[in-house]
Chain A
Amino acid sequence: MDDLLREFVTETNESLDVVDVELVRFEQDPNNAKILDNVFRLVHTIKGTCGFLSLPRLEALAHAAESLMGKFRDGAHATSEAVTLILATIDRIKQILESLENEQREPDGADDDLIAQLHRMVEKVAAPVTASQQAVGTLAPQVLERPLLPGENTLDELERAFRDTKVDPPAKRAKPQAVADTVKDDEQAKNGGQSIRVTVDTLEHLMTMVSELVLTRNQLLEIVRRHEESEFKTPLQRLSNVTAELQEGVMKTRMQPIGNAWQKLPRIVRDLSNELGKQIDLEMQGAETELDRQVLDLIKDPLTHMVRNSADHGLETPDERRAAGKPPHGHIRLSAYHEGGHINIQIADDGRGLDTERIKAKAVAQGLVAEADAEKLSEAQIHKFIFSPGFSTAAKITSVSGRGVGMDVVRNNIDQIGGTIDVKSVAGVGLSFTIKIPLTLAIVAALIVESGGDRFAIPQLSVVELVRARTGGDHRIERIKDTPVLRLRNKLLPLTRLSQLLGIEPTKGRELENGFIVVTQVGSRTFGIVVDAVFHTEEIVVKPMSSKLRHIAMFSGNTILGDGSVIMIIDPNGVAQALGSTVTSQMADAEAEARHVAANEEATSLLVFRAGSPQPKAVPLSLVTRLEEIDARKIEMSNGRHMVQYRGHLMPLVSMDDNVRVKGEGAQPLLVFSDGVRSMGLVVDEIVDIVEDALDIQVAGDNSGVLGSAIVKGQATEIIDVGHFLPLAFADWFRRKDQPAQAARRSVLLIDDSPFFLNMLRPVLQAAGYEVTAAGSAQEALAMINDGRRFDVAVTDVEMPDMDGFQFTEAVRADPQTADMPVIALSSVVSVEAAERGRRAGFYDYVAKFDRQGLIAALKEQTEIGRAA
């Protein structure tokens, strides 16, 4: 194509995008002459250039649009109808530009239809202007002073009301805004002077070359690594640094503000609000947040789709909104911000939220979940169904959305770039989507590992730490039946062998017990990937896998290493999913989670064992410090009790009940519970399995030592009350060491809707020397406070029905009597966002539900502060 023409097309397209946005702004703020001038100037430039390049169709269109806008500039009222017409003209211009780009000439055809309409509009808006100017001249100021401030909201209604009289505003201009705009324009002009236009191809090529350079650099580093003393070392170091800087520089050129992807949204929202008869405000925050071009391209459509959805399904009509006690204007907020190596994008509206019942019904109808199970799902779990393929709940199909291509497509696109999407919805209040995507796809740091004789790369971003397992060492791999686990700082990590996941032969002589464990985190799940060897980290250039291999969920791509060989890149998401299906048979990703049978509680890892009876028993895995199998001959009798030497201490053994006999020979399985220096061994017959299931204790146990029964993996299982057994081992378990004197005993108000957690935490807190009062709900707790009872500190669960921990805390803060009482939140989901929200609500501290040490420490800290004060 002719260079001149190409430049014209590019520039005009950009100008038109601006015109789109500006016109929508102008319609809302018709008195802002600055915007109008800007639009006018752009259209005028287009017209001028068209004449110069002899593009008659474009010129005629631009001319007609310009005349209409000229009338606005002369003071005619910008009606919604007129703006729509100009927007339609701009769409036509875009169409022509498109074929101009492809065929290098204007397409055949005429625009008489539009031009005639434009002319009619010119007359329509112009005629009354002269007529009314004198007639209602005195009225004008009265009518006009008002709409200046809130006017933008009700412009359409006003317009309809006044159309007949055609009251014309004498151009009253908002001066301060004009000044601000001028400043911005100056800045833009300055930037404009310092930038040049480069084609995307050039940049892509540059990026490819830099990728090659990175690979070659890696290759050289690899060679030098083998030679201890090399004169190349210093210059290579320099080369390496320069390469890194160059890489960063080129990556930067690929970055574009996310605002580019949002540019078309104001226009879309404007058209939608007209079409749907809704009033919609679109707010955009963080438009300057930069994203890799490739990523931007892939999220553009999903974002548009979600905004359309919000406008179409989410927001109610003004009447409905008023009826619901909301302002008639619906609000859609888009925001983007950096967080760590990710970018978070949020799309939130204040509409009606998701219709949980309808989604549930649809999910059942589509066979995604059994009806019986659906009843047990939490709202959040049900909402996740919207990401299932072919899922659309739109009852009526509008021209906007609801054609069955829905959130599943959005999710696919986001998956492609390694992102995640989450939905939060509150009925009647609004809906928000949070998309989390990696900053860039091209170059990532990866850990190179070996398994089964092959090397693989694991993206560093998801690697938390490396642990070397050793038989008899501190980090020992234990087994529960066939499931290997690692106890790491009092957390049990499920382990998986990479070779097993990939279906390759494990290297002979490499025992799992001596492997390297790559502790990996995906979302809120942490697990260990066992590999034979760990080499080094390397900056790798992610290359997409062949389409023939893309179905393998374990890999996210491949790359060429410094030594020239190709290596597969492990996808931690894929591993997490596979792990979910092998270790816990369910769980893992969102769908599985949604299918998961849960009675409003999240899944809990349970250790299932048998002791005394064939009926299985279980205890939350997080309470168990260790699983041991000891030689029965080492069990000694002392003082009439069974004891065993364990880690340099004598550890008492306690039987579940009289039916459990300590074995005389062979291996005796034990569950070891520790608290600081003391340990107790619970004698069991057999350790069965670790399962992950929702814990819903249904029948309160009538015998001591049993909290109640729960259905675990479809079998009635007794849940053991660990608190009952601890004093059996040490009579003073709950009254010992640094326990404060009676007078100084601190009182704790413990709130949790789950009786199980109340029962589990009460002994733990009592053991730490606190006086514990338990409440089964936030209301119950508030009632106690209202009765005049005072506590030194409150510990509350966050997720509770009716009134959650946030609301409870706000209520406590609002009451001057209790405003100073520290509140510690317990949650099974501990995320930065949740912690932040908690801090805002007034939590003093935020502790994971099973983190006993963390809770004790937090309690100690809060009560110490209280004591000092």
Chain B
Amino acid sequence: MQETSTHTVNEYVTAMIGGQLFGLPIRSVQDVFLPERITRVPLAQPEIAGVLNLRGRIVTLIDMRRRLGLEARTDEGPSMAVGVEMRGESYGLLIDSVGEVLKLDDAAREPNPINLDPRLARVSAGIHRLDGQLLMVVDVERVLDIGATTIAA
């Protein structure tokens, strides 16, 4: 690989959510796990799927389909979760399935198309054109920006 491009290459964990391919920057991903024994949290924001125990830590699960304004899942396949950490707290992003890790050149990343669904646009950090499909880079921080104010406390 050329000297000039090494510092602009990012690695992404790819995830399928509602038929769309997403990429999560690998440095923000802790692990990928199969969520089990989810405890739902009454009165929580609709995006919050619940909490669960992952090796002694309490992880808050975010339903990515809801978060991205996609339709709820109809098939019964097992969901996966991508573990991320922010400000000392653990979160799990609930996705349909996890794919391979891709190395993508930052220079090839394109800005969001102006007609992108606003619910996607608010968490997107840009688009990569891959062979045959598009990958949306997810800004994890913005995904987790679920204000408590969306619901009257």
Contact = CB atoms under 8 A, between A and B. Distances in A.
Interface stretch (B19-27, B34-42, B102-110, B124-132): B34-42
A697 B89 CA distance: 56
B60 A565 contact: no
Interface stretch (B44-52, B76-84, B133-141): B44-52
Contact of A502 (B43, B144, B148): B43
A565 B56 CA distance: 10
Given A212-B56, A546-B58, A549-B60, A565 B39 contact: yes
B1 interface: no
Contacts of A551: 148, 151, 153
Contact of A552 (B41, B52, B56, B87): B41
A255 B134 CA distance: 57
Which bracket fits the contact residues of A? 20 to 34
Nearest to B52: A566
Interface residues of B, number: 23
B37 A548 contact: no
Given A551-B148, A565-B53, A566-B52, A454 B39 contact: yes
Given A547-B89, A548-B146, A550-B148, A566 B43 contact: no
A552 B89 contact: no
Given A560-B58, A564-B53, A566-B53, A546 B89 contact: yes
Interface in A407-460: 454
A836 B44 CA distance: 44
Main secondary structure of the interface of A (DSSP, over half): loop
A558 B52 CA distance: 10
Interface in A130-165: none
A212 B57 CA distance: 10
A549 B53 contact: no
A656 to B, nearest CB: 43
A567 B153 CA distance: 20
A566 B58 contact: yes
B48 A548 contact: yes
A552 B45 CA distance: 10
A454 B39 CA distance: 8
Nearest to B88: A547
A554 B42 contact: yes
Contacts of B43: 502-503, 552, 554
Contacts of A502: 42-43
A564 B51 contact: no
Contact of B60 (A454, A503, A546): A546
Interface in A246-287: none
Contacts of A566: 37, 39, 51-53, 58
Nearest to A212: B56
A543 B51 CA distance: 12
A179 interface: no
Contact of A567 (B39, B48, B87, B148): B39
A583 interface: no
B56 A560 contact: yes
A549 B58 contact: no
Interface in A482-523: 502-504
A502 B148 CA distance: 16
B41 A549 contact: yes
Nearest to B37: A565
A454 B148 contact: no
Interface string A451-489: 000100000000000000000000000000000000000
A402 B40 CA distance: 44
B110 to A, nearest CB: 31
B153 A552 contact: yes
A823 interface: no
Contacts of A564: 37, 53
A212 B146 CA distance: 30
B11 to A, nearest CB: 27
Interface string A555-569: 100101000111110
Contacts of B91: 546
B60 A568 contact: no
B26 to A, nearest CB: 23
A397 interface: no
Interface of B: 37, 39-45, 48, 51-53, 56, 58, 60, 87, 89, 91, 144, 146, 148, 151, 153
Given A548-B60, A560-B53, A566-B39, 8 more contacts: A454-B40, A546-B51, A548-B144, A549-B41, A552-B43, A554-B42, A560-B58, A568-B42
27 contacts: A454-B39, A454-B40, A502-B42, A503-B43, A504-B42, A547-B87, A548-B146, A548-B148, A549-B41, A549-B48, A549-B148, A550-B148, A551-B151, A552-B41, A552-B42, A552-B43, A552-B153, A554-B43, A555-B41, A558-B39, A565-B52, A566-B37, A566-B51, A566-B53, A568-B39, A568-B42, A568-B51
5 nearest CB pairs, A to B: A551-B148, A502-B42, A546-B60, A551-B153, A566-B39
